[in-house]
A and B are shown apart, each in its own frame.
Chain A
Amino acid sequence: MSTTSTKESKSVAPTTRQRRRANLSDRAKSERRLGWYLAGPAFIVMLAVTLYPILQAFWDSLFSLRLTAPDDTTFIWFANYITVLSDPIWWRDLGVTLIITVVTVIIELILGFALALVMDKAIKSLRGLLRTAILVPYGIITVVSAYAWFYAFDINSGYINHWFDWIPGISPDLNWFAEFWPSLSVIMASEIWKTTPFISLLLLAGLAQVPSELTEAAQVDGATWWERMRKVIVPNMKAAIMVAVLFRTLDAFRIFDNVFIMTNGAHGTEVLSLLAYRTSISRLEIGLGSAISVLLFVCVLIICFVAIKLFKVDLAGTQGDK
């Protein structure tokens, strides 16, 4: 505290206790009011841009509603949901989305952890360079990443086939985007490249929270690098790992850009977000599209619920009260 403030508080001191108490509760009240004045606008905007649309989507999903025939709108209860859920395409797309989610998150977790360790342990002169490099994929537009990977593998403009033609199965004639698994692999590669930096930064923050006394003690006790990793470091940053995995899972689950650019859903690579887009925006079937949107939202809720209840991921706790 500065000298002026102590002077000031001395001169305030002689006032009666009663008055001070009244002032305090007045201040608490005005603080509450100010709190909501300041936080309220952001809160209202957030609700307006998400809660309102999802409620609207739910309402629309109860109608047979096509923009190509807007006069034929009829209330049909949950028939749209039955249509979607009894369509094998929904289940196929859900499967593809889940494959992408599980594979990318696992690889990203391993790769991201390695990158986090590198950034954490790097000698000072390299630290800035490494972090700058890592941030490039983070900042790049996903669509740009998708094109970069697409053109590298594409049968016409690509060079990957020519570089790796010594590997059995790869030849200049291999068309990566003509079949399910090859195209899905490139889609996942682009997704992993672009989003691993994010997960590695979350893990880096987690690493910083592992008490160094613990790792040092383990080292003194003769624990190998692997033992320290498995018994000391990973258990102590479990919370950070869980949060990183949950965030990335939810993010991977809504994958859209890479698939849209590379295959647009061809050869069975369609994901749920693309199905929703195709139904509402391309085919203008707002009723059906809304049902898919609501179902996607429900999927996200289920993932969150499972993570929080089963794996005890404490999201709020990551930034709980001081």
Chain B
Amino acid sequence: MTSGKQKITWAVIAVLVLLYALFPVASILSTSFKSPSDLTSGKFLPSSGAGTLDNYKQILVGDAQGLFLSALRNSIGIALIATFIAVVLATLCAYAIARLDFPGKKVVLTTALAVSIFPVISIVTPLFNLWRNIGLYDTWPGLIIPYLSLTLPISIWTLAAFFRQIPWELEQAAQVDGATTWQAFRKAIVPLAAPGVFTTAIIAFFIAWNDFVYGISLTSTETARTVPAALAFFTGASQFEAPTGAISAAAIIVTIPVVLLVLLFQRQIVSGLTQGAVKG
């Protein structure tokens, strides 16, 4: 096989993979620039050349502004807080699992595994009832708490895998130098563990950002409704107009942070996902 031939083969493969991965995104991006009359053209691209920004105007400064911007604020706030709590708890937990000898280590890991495969919808019914009774329905904490069932288990697994690769001699060295276990953890290990913690936070954020079931079940108004849930409740400018353009524009806006994170931290995310899943 000549290297020229190989290059062409790889170019073709790369184009195919890029088409696969990006085509649906390109599709909704193109839809987001279509005017209402353009939507039914049956063509991929908006017909008027550059397209229209009306859909973005509608959700950012127009009629749908209240609905979308509050949802965006809720999504960002709730996902960030749920990620933060999960990563803090998981960091402590994963450190103990990777480093300390204590009975019940396996129980904790198995529980994390069991929680991560738990059907979300099974949690929703009892929480729906309970939240209404204790006033957590349609509030931020009412979503943050169940989000922990999504973000915490994967954080524990990913971090435990990361922490097992840290050179722990450093910690022993610190302890021999007279530091307590806690000091050794804080001074010697935290700086080394930070990249793993950061990667875990990205993965946990993706998962919280993606949630739909909790979002539509445990909220009812703009106080706490997240973007995925709000998208499902978008209505057109008039009763007879489908909200296609506005939904597409909103979809693109909430996809931007995902694409940015992926572009910046591709290597870390891949290693986080593969280590957490398979390696010991």
Contacts and interface: CB of A to CB of B under 8 A. Distances in A.
Nearest to B14: A126
Contacts, number: 341
Contacts of B44: 159, 163
Contacts of B25: 136, 140, 148
A139 B181 CA distance: 37
Contacts of A296: 119, 121-122
A256 to B, nearest CB: 6
A39 B96 contact: yes
A60 B100 CA distance: 40
B274 A204 contact: yes
A102 interface: no
B119 A300 contact: yes
By secondary structure, the B interface counts as helix
28 contacts: A35-B105, A36-B102, A38-B93, A50-B123, A54-B123, A60-B126, A115-B17, A118-B13, A122-B13, A123-B6, A133-B22, A137-B24, A140-B255, A141-B209, A141-B251, A143-B228, A144-B254, A147-B251, A156-B39, A159-B41, A190-B24, A193-B24, A202-B278, A244-B277, A256-B213, A315-B113, A316-B106, A316-B109
Interface of A: 1-2, 4-5, 8-9, 12, 28, 30-32, 34-36, 38-39, 41-43, 45-47, 49-50, 53-54, 56-57, 60, 67, 115, 118, 122-123, 126, 128-145, 147-149, 151-152, 156-159, 161-163, 172, 190, 193, 197-198, 201-202, 204-206, 208-209, 239-240, 243-244, 247, 250-251, 253-254, 256-257, 260-261, 272-273, 276-277, 280-281, 286, 289-290, 292-294, 296-297, 300, 304, 315-316, 318-322
Given A57-B125, A145-B24, A202-B274, 19 more contacts: A1-B169, A39-B102, A41-B92, A42-B108, A43-B107, A43-B111, A47-B111, A60-B125, A128-B267, A133-B17, A141-B254, A143-B251, A156-B242, A205-B277, A205-B279, A280-B124, A293-B119, A293-B122, A293-B126
